[in-house]
Structure 1
């Protein structure tokens, strides 16, 4: 699962990734396993949406855990890519056409993308995204 950087941000492309676990703890965690390449974890800490082709966008708030029930439909879905833009927009593209979207928040860290053992992308307050590597990775154990 390579990560590539472009002018707009970063793209993580998958060969055979599946959403294997969801975590709900006032954040919404999405674990994607891409054997034999390892795992990627997306942690969303602020409101996000799931977009389905031909339907209205569904909004979710991790702080309101009861609102997340409908988001459970993404479990076991195939994943094609994760796109993290430098302006703070995040998109997880699923093979079934669904898109999980999160944006920046003025007051809080919005989201993190963790490539186990390699990189962490974090959207800080405002709109900036920082890339951490193994040597300066503050979220390696999350």
Structure 2
């Protein structure tokens, strides 16, 4: 892992280790600040503002981070140490860019390990991804 990003060798995706609104702290080796609760439009703008190649992940991409564990978060805590702080409502909910039906998009809950959908105007956390 490089500072602030995690590379998945299998999928060849590079992930920002912090939710949008948080920053990687090299000394503490974790994310600091507060995550932004973004609707779909704001999430897409945040990806554009992050620089070339960054995007809101598709459902298939975000699903690659989902771990099948009995206890604890359903994401690698060493790669993504502050996912729990990105809690909006119940769980640790992160947008995908995959539309479930008109105006509704999928999200993953890394606290409970499931996918669901919500209206595009709802505010959730976002992890950004890019190709290697």
Aligning the two structures, in what range does the TM-score lie when normalised by the shorter sequence? 0.3 to 0.5
Please, what TM-score do these two structures have when normalized by structure 1? Answer: 0.32
Bigger fraction of residues in strand:
1
More helix by share: 2
